[in-house]
Structure 1
Amino acid sequence: MPIFNYSAGPSMLPHEVMQNVQKELLSYEGSGVSIVEMSHRSTAFQSIVDSLEARLRRLMDIPETYAVLFLQGGATLQFSMVPMNLRETSRFAYVDTGIWSKKAMTDARCFGEVAIIQPTDDLDGMSFSTDGLHDVDYVHLTLNNTIEGTRFTAIPETEVPIVADASSNILAEPIDVSRFGLIYAGAQKNIGPSGLTVVIVRRDLVQSLHLPSYLSYHNQMDTLLNTPSTFSMYVAERVLKWVEEAGGVEAMERMNVQKRDLIYGYFETSALFKPLVTGEKRSLTNIPFTTGSEETDQRFLEFAREQGLIELGGHRSVGGLRASLYNAMPLEGATRLIEVMRQFEEGHDVSH
């Protein structure tokens, strides 16, 4: 029985990539040395770094005016590194769209004053107003809300740099890098294994400030300052190769739209399962839903596990159910989830 993993992260990786990693684990490209024991200063590993950056630049059309940094600490470390490195007036604006944006603004308050922006939120999508943003160092937003299952559909022009947490939608849909001052993303959803964080930053925003060495973007520019997450970077390079060969980000978006629309289409006919998000703001990658009963939700989780569908529980902070359909999730994963929901519903007395 095939297993489908709907985890919000670390998420499933492309099967072909996992097979390739398994094949090369003991001897990278016939070198006799495993990637997990290879020096990060070796010529072989530098070729991986160069290829990883080149592939990411091609896939996202990243201009040369932006640096690409491969860091550790997850997206959570960027909650601090961003205000540390981009502060001038030490006033920052944060668009409040959920739990992760709240965590980011909490850490930013350690370095200055935070102005909170409430987004506009209707059936047409999610955006925010730029009124009063002229006197802040940047405006921060979470492009896709992994827990809430919502995403930004319109990003207005603004005079100040926009900083975006793209952890759960990077490579899942096109992002116009030139619209942003800085984009950061944990790798463990669409890029590769956990342990790697990608930061794409406009070079003119990087300052030489008095900061601990690792926490300075300036010190990380165009170099590996310390031993990076070598295995994660190696797998990420293979995942990006898979994305390129599959048709790039545009092909990923088409598939993600198809998967999302199939599942939301089932909800429209279901008497038991209900989505928690409506309209155009629905995420392409994270779908929260519920039966309306905590007990029934738990029964469905157990039923789904017996059918080979795992990690369908909602985030611990909100409960309910959630299916994360990142790039590596095949179309079959969406259709199989619908089959299992239908089987559960047919065996459940919805009148009760």
Structure 2
Amino acid sequence: MNRAHNFNPGPAALPLEVLQKVQSELLDFAGTGMSILEVSHRSKDYEAVHNAAQSLMRELLGIPENYHILFLGGGASLQFSMVPMNLLGPGVSADYVITGAWSQKAFKEAKLVGNPRVAATTEEDGKFTRIPKQEELQLDPQARYVHITSNNTIFGTQWHTFPNTGNVPIVADMSSDFLWRPFDIKPFGLIYGGAQKNLGPAGVTVVIIRDDLLALCREDIPIILRFKTHAKDNSLYNTPPVFAIYIVKLVLEWIKEKGGLAWMEQENRAKAARIYGVIDSYPEFYRAPVAKDSRSFMNAVFRLPSEELENKFLEGAKAHRFVGLKGHRSVGGIRVSMYNYVPKSSVEELARYMEEFARAHA
């Protein structure tokens, strides 16, 4: 196979071994004589997949029993609405930390159903180049939650140390850096994320919610939008995205076999160090707009001296089968999305291309 070097920002690369496993049992899943695409979500065969995916996630992240793991649809965009619909109401507020386009969207949706407030923003001239410092956060101790976006795919910033919010639980959109490293889940009341960047294929959204926050959820909203509904029915109130959850389970097995999240963090740090090392070695040619202490380990963004050179860089990248390097349309430039399952070999190939291109055009 002549596989591409996949740097797509999402849907993103998946482990080749997982894809081969899917291929091998696509027509006959677990001896059922049916594809997993045909198996009933009410069957014991699928129930085993569903429960295994939850158990593996609980094991890898060290999630205590007082958290529910939900598999939902709608992506993070639905959670922008679903979180405040469940947790806000008359006289209840929440703090939002604005660090990029996705946190802006989450805040906009929250304003439709509640009274959120901006606890901090790092926007300057329409751009975001850093994560706020702890002392910049103007937190309300009476807030229901503090919402953050842990990694910002468009602007290439990431929370390296999560904020101290006291007794107020953190709600985090982790769509683009979920499972990239181990972390202490106890300060988080709710974590959500679309799977298509760092966990599995598009089509399933993971929600991890703590019991105390679940107990506060409203029951005067549509049944299917209540977290309590999905927690009570083990995410089987309606037909779940069976195929996507099945692949999530295979991915989690793959992570465990490789060495868990400690191994994953080591791999991700090595990949990011290689790309940022090239950028910093050619500071007059590759310009990274992000403060070094806020650089994302998932999405390295940079500019070249001119758009003409950027287009030439992207054109040359095609010949090397590098896919997905064009920056988001709102900011331009180059974006290297090196999520969990982008192999180090692809990153090394790209780093060498960057070095050669700089030497030839600097």
TM range (shorter): over 0.9
For 2:81 and 2:129, locate their aligned partners in 1 and report how far apart those are by CA, in whole Å: 33
The answer as to whether partners of 1:119 and 1:128 remain within 8 angstroms in 2 is no
| 1:242-276, Cα deviation, whole Å (9 max, x unpaired) | 00111111111111111101111111222422222
The answer as to whether partners of 1:119 and 1:127 remain within 8 angstroms in 2 is no
For 1:133 and 1:56, locate their aligned partners in 2 and report how far apart those are by CA, in whole Å: 32
Match of 1:221 among 231, 234, 246: 231
Note closer, same or farther for the CA distance 1:132–1:310 as it changes in structure 2 (3 Å cut).
Answer: closer
For 1:11 and 1:81, locate their aligned partners in 2 and report how far apart those are by CA, in whole Å: 25
Shift of the alpha carbon at 1:132? 4.2
Note closer, same or farther for the CA distance 1:235–1:159 as it changes in structure 2 (3 Å cut).
Answer: same
**2:337 corresponding residue in structure 1:** 324
1:1-352 map, 5 Å: 1-88=2-89, 89-118=91-120, 126-129=132-135, 131-154=138-161, 155-206=163-214, 207-222=217-232, 223=234, 224-270=236-282, 271-348=284-361, 350=362
Shift of the alpha carbon at 1:119? 5.2
For 2:158 and 2:357, locate their aligned partners in 1 and report how far apart those are by CA, in whole Å: 29
Count residues with an aligned counterpart.
349
Q: TM-score, normalised by structure 2?
A: 0.92
DSSP-derived class of the 2:171 partner: strand
Shift of the alpha carbon at 1:94? 0.4
Q: TM-score, normalised by structure 1?
A: 0.94
DSSP-derived class of the 2:220 partner: coil
Shift of the alpha carbon at 1:153? 2.3
For 2:269 and 2:139, locate their aligned partners in 1 and report how far apart those are by CA, in whole Å: 35
The answer as to whether partners of 1:123 and 1:280 remain within 8 angstroms in 2 is no
5+ long unaligned stretches in structure 1: none
The answer as to whether partners of 1:126 and 1:151 remain within 8 angstroms in 2 is no
The answer as to whether partners of 1:90 and 1:113 remain within 8 angstroms in 2 is yes
Paired letter, 1:308:
R
For 1:165 and 1:314, locate their aligned partners in 2 and report how far apart those are by CA, in whole Å: 21
Shift of the alpha carbon at 1:87? 1.6
DSSP-derived class of the 2:176 partner: coil
Shift of the alpha carbon at 1:343? 2.6
For 1:123 and 1:345, locate their aligned partners in 2 and report how far apart those are by CA, in whole Å: 24
Paired letter, 2:101:
I
For 1:2 and 1:190, locate their aligned partners in 2 and report how far apart those are by CA, in whole Å: 19
Shift of the alpha carbon at 1:208? 4.7
The answer as to whether partners of 1:123 and 1:279 remain within 8 angstroms in 2 is no
The range that moved more, 158-167 or 83-92, is 83-92
Note closer, same or farther for the CA distance 1:167–1:127 as it changes in structure 2 (3 Å cut).
Answer: farther
The answer as to whether partners of 2:139 and 2:165 remain within 8 angstroms in 1 is no
Paired letter, 2:156:
G
DSSP-derived class of the 1:323 partner: strand
| 1:139-197, Cα deviation, whole Å (9 max, x unpaired) | 10001111111111232142222100111111102221111110001100111000100
For 1:186 and 1:239, locate their aligned partners in 2 and report how far apart those are by CA, in whole Å: 15
| 1:41-71, Cα deviation, whole Å (9 max, x unpaired) | 1110000001000000001111110111100
For 1:114 and 1:75, locate their aligned partners in 2 and report how far apart those are by CA, in whole Å: 18
For 1:290 and 1:113, locate their aligned partners in 2 and report how far apart those are by CA, in whole Å: 38
Note closer, same or farther for the CA distance 1:62–1:292 as it changes in structure 2 (3 Å cut).
Answer: same
The answer as to whether partners of 2:56 and 2:249 remain within 8 angstroms in 1 is yes
Shift of the alpha carbon at 1:344? 2.3
Shift of the alpha carbon at 1:91? 1.5
Q: Say what the alpha-carbon RMSD is for the aligned residues.
A: 1.9
For 1:227 and 1:120, locate their aligned partners in 2 and report how far apart those are by CA, in whole Å: 40
Shift of the alpha carbon at 1:320? 0.8
| 1:322-349, Cα deviation, whole Å (9 max, x unpaired) | 001111111111111111112323332x
Shift of the alpha carbon at 1:76? 0.6
DSSP-derived class of the 2:148 partner: strand
Shift of the alpha carbon at 1:37? 1.1
For 2:129 and 2:303, locate their aligned partners in 1 and report how far apart those are by CA, in whole Å: 20
The answer as to whether partners of 2:98 and 2:122 remain within 8 angstroms in 1 is no
